[in-house]
Amino acid sequence: MVTRQTDLTRDKLLQAAFNEIHLHGFQAASIANILRDTGLTKGALYHHFPTKQELGLAVIDEVVSELLEKWIFSRLRESGKPVQTLLKLIDESGRKTELEAIVLGCPLNNLMQEMSPLDDEFKARLNRILSIWQSVVEDALQREKKSGVVRSDVDCHAAALFIVSAWEGCVGIAKSQQSMKNFSLCMKQLRNYVQSLLAVQAK
Amino acid sequence: MVTRQTDLTRDKLLQAAFNEIHLHGFQAASIANILRDTGLTKGALYHHFPTKQELGLAVIDEVVSELLEKWIFSRLRESGKPVQTLLKLIDESGRKTELEAIVLGCPLNNLMQEMSPLDDEFKARLNRILSIWQSVVEDALQREKKSGVVRSDVDCHAAALFIVSAWEGCVGIAKSQQSMKNFSLCMKQLRNYVQSLLAVQAK
DNA sequence: ACACAAGCATACCGATCGGTATGTAATTCG
DNA sequence: CGAATTACATACCGATCGGTATGCTTGTGT
């Protein structure tokens, strides 16, 4: 049960790799930088991960995935009022104060844009997370459809797809403009779209 | 007036660089690959472009910019019914048959996501194009606001920002999923959003 | 306590990176 | 026609890339 030393080293590598990838992308991510940041050496890295690709895949499965799970997926799944929670998440995201989140963008989207056309392993892992995102949003809409909050004529599948796409689009544009003002404005429009799906526009 | 040989060589380099960058991104774009594709050598390349960065910037200014200008910007500017043209462009984009456009994504967005946080020169050139995109859409909405097609309560600036963001978002998600079915579905939702801005929902 | 494996460090490898120095062929201009 | 500049080719450079082979150190099970 003791937190074994080896697990700590592995976590340090994963976290440093995540930061390096988040900053430079996967291909331009430098093994040397990761080792410099952690104070470790190649011996340690290649003991835990056979290749750079496997390191990247582990970052996706264990860091990126967990981040989204914690901040978005679980909160939507466990919410009793999922649409309200969705609107809150959109608001929260739009009011992000950390400049880092604006400058560096969404780790998932960054990796998808870079790696999906280049590597099928990456594509599969990334799309798995993306499809979870879509399905939790779709499920949120679907549940509220039954409760009458969401209009009965809404195509929840298509709407969820668009919400996630537009979400990532807003983050991406804000990242390239490096403007949190535009980001807030953009997410506000997304909020308007979501509200346009509701039967009663109030709240 | 003769098309000088040197201009042809420069164009060949620009085009090959565009393809290589579109495929691998800028950082992972290989000078060697570009030279292999063109059949030229380093002497030719570094005669026309002092550095790889300048080559990339030229690709942005002369290839990417012209592409968008030709297919989107000019058509919106010169349209007498800009909203109708906007809807047509969205439809066209959503019915893209060329798999390449889906697999590789939007060259502008790809470069923005990769390079904007890393290089201020890239950021400036890319954001210039992006702001043109936003302003032509905003202007299209604004003109139709005066003509009564667009509702008077619409914030054209925010709407244009969101339309462009969601547009790029849809392309990006479709690219990572490599699904033109989802892309069509997603662009259809964007179309719905644009129509929700109109006074008369018909057409 | 001892054997053995796991965890990690050091040193090195070939390949590829962007970039440069120099030479030659083609073009332009007086 | 001849000189000078432009347009390109060839060969080479140091730096960095991801990856490996080897050895030492630390922990673990018996």
Taking an 8 Å cut-off on Cβ atoms, the answer to whether B161 and A188 are in contact is no
**Residue of B27, B113, B132 best to disrupt the A interface, most CBs of A under 10 A:** B113
| Chain B environment of A182 (Cβ under 8 Å) | 161
- For chain B, say whether A52 makes contact (Cβ under 8 Å): no
Closest CA to B131 of B107, B106, B105, B108: B108
Separation between Cα atoms, residue B98 and residue B80, nearest integer Å: 29
Q: Is A172 exposed, middle or buried (0-12, 13-18, 19+ CB in 10 A)?
A: buried
What is the pLDDT, as a whole number, of residue B6? 61
CB atoms within 10 A of CB A6: 11
The pair of three-digit structure tokens given for residue A43, joined into one six-digit string: 């011996």
> What does pTM read for this prediction?
0.94
Q: What is the DSSP string of A33-60?
A: HHHHHHT--HHHHHHH-SSHHHHHHHHI
Give nearest nucleotide to A42 (CA–C1'): C9
Q: Is A80 exposed, middle or buried (0-12, 13-18, 19+ CB in 10 A)?
A: exposed
Positions on chain C within 7 A of a protein C-beta = 6-12, 16-23, 26-28
Within chain A, which residues score under 50 in pLDDT? 1-2, 203
Closest CA to A82 of A67, A68, A72: A72
The per-residue pLDDT string of chain B (203 residues; one tens digit each, 9 = 90 and over) reads 344 566 899 999 999 999 999 999 999 999 999 999 999 999 999 999 999 999 999 999 999 999 999 999 999 999 999 999 999 999 999 988 788 888 999 999 999 999 999 999 999 999 999 999 999 999 999 999 999 999 999 999 999 999 999 999 999 999 999 999 999 999 999 999 999 999 976 54
